[in-house]
Amino acid sequence: MAVEYKKQITARFKNGVFPVDFLVLIFSALMTVVSLLFFNTLSRPFLFTVADITIFLVLFYLIVHEKRITDSASYWLHSWLPVISVAVFYTQATAYDHLIFKETFEPLLLQWESNLFGNFNRLADFPGNNLLVDELMHFFYFSYYLILFIPGMIMLSRRSPRAHEMIFSLTLMMVAHCIFFILFPGNGPVENHPIIFTRGLIFIPLMNIIYEIGGNQGGGAIPSTHVAVAVMVFLYSFFEFKRVHWPVLITAAGIVFATVYCSYHYIIDTLAGLFTGIMFYFIGKRVYLNWDHPAELAAESLSRQ
């Protein structure tokens, strides 16, 4: 009986798994092992262990119960859970930034920044002294959370074949970022943010709340995930929304500029994000297109084959 049940679960897993699911399952299992092995030396290991196990179990449940009904809530949750999970992984990776090195590489990064850009990485005294511009820049920085989901949700609702490819590429890139944050931690200039921006109306306080919820622990400055995501989403949107990709372009450009203006990243962090966003766009596309992924097809599509 147990053997038969195991066969059924295995068959349902194979029938319902998306390629991106393997990235999340493997990474959540890896981070669980890391948390348990170094439990006494890490920050909030119990909380993150529970989160990692929960992500693993919820995703596994969605896989074995995947019915490929593209307008169902479970299908949408299954499709987007990998990207949502990366928010937990990002916070965990930046909290675990002292796992290997006790100090961040901030002095080295500052030296690189100075050697490459000198004083050009300072925007004089403008940031913090013009409330409307400050709010606009923080709106662009906040729009990362919009650009991360809205274009992909439109693509998924249209059943575009690029939707799952983009989700795969985004997740692959962000998981790679998380690993890099642990191996090469850097704080960036985020500590200067509350000193520069002492007042705000909507988006400055909103970003303060988001960073407070995330722990404000630093360690995940380079490469800039905001920039990398913005670049990758724009590249997918350029080919998906050929006539109306301008809103994504403007938003992506605003995010790139806001990362430095709002004192969340150095210029070098932004350039690194540009590089990884472009690089993983091609890497993700190549890996995904060479991967068998029939479980992402709609049930009605399968019935016509």
Q: What pLDDT is recorded for position 304?
A: 40
Q: Where are the alpha helices (DSSP H) in 118-149?
A: 131-142, 144-147
Pick the closest to residue 232 from 175, 293, 176, 273 (CA basis).
273
Give the integer Cα–Cα distance in Å for 99 and 105.
Answer: 13
Residue 41 CB coordination number (10 Å): 10
pLDDT in tens, 206-243: 998 888 876 656 667 889 999 999 999 999 999 888 77
In which residue ranges of the chain is pLDDT below 70? Answer: 1, 119-125, 214-219, 297-305
User: Cα 49–218–225 angle (5° rounding)?
Assistant: 85
pTM of the model: 0.90
**Nearest to residue 293, comparing CAs of 86, 10, 67, 16?**
16
267-291: buried (b, 16+ CB within 10 Å) or exposed (e) per residue? bbbbbbbbebbebbbeebbeebeee
C-alpha to C-alpha distance for 264 and 250, rounded to whole angstroms: 19
Cα–Cα distance, 111 to 108 (Å, whole number): 5
Contact yes or no for 92/53 (Cβ under 8 A): no
Euclidean distance between CA atoms 254 and 144, whole angstroms: 10
> What is the Cα–Cα distance from 268 to 101, expressed in whole angstroms?
21
Q: Residue 94 has which token pair? A: 């930046």
CA gap 280, 286 in Å, rounded: 9
Residue 4, number of CB atoms within 10 A of its CB? 8
The pLDDT of residue 214 is 67
| Residues 279/208, Cβ–Cβ less than 8 Å | no
- Residue type (1 letter), 166: M
Instruction: List the domain boundaries for the chain.
Output: 2-303
Task: Say what the pLDDT of residue 305 is.
Answer: 39
> Which of 72, 48, 117, 56 has the alpha carbon at shortest distance from 269?
117
Q: Give CA–CA dist 128/119, Å, rounded.
A: 18
Question: What is the pLDDT at residue 103?
Answer: 84
What's the confidence (pLDDT) of residue 125? Answer: 67
- CA 303/CA 305 separation, integer angstroms: 6
At 81, list the tokens: 């859970």
What are the φ and ψ backbone dihedral angles of 30, each rounded to 5 degrees? -60, -45
| CA atoms of 161 and 41, how far apart (whole Å) | 44
Provide the H-helix boundaries in 38-183.
Answer: 45-64, 73-95, 106-117, 131-142, 144-147, 150-157, 161-183
* pLDDT given at position 45: 87
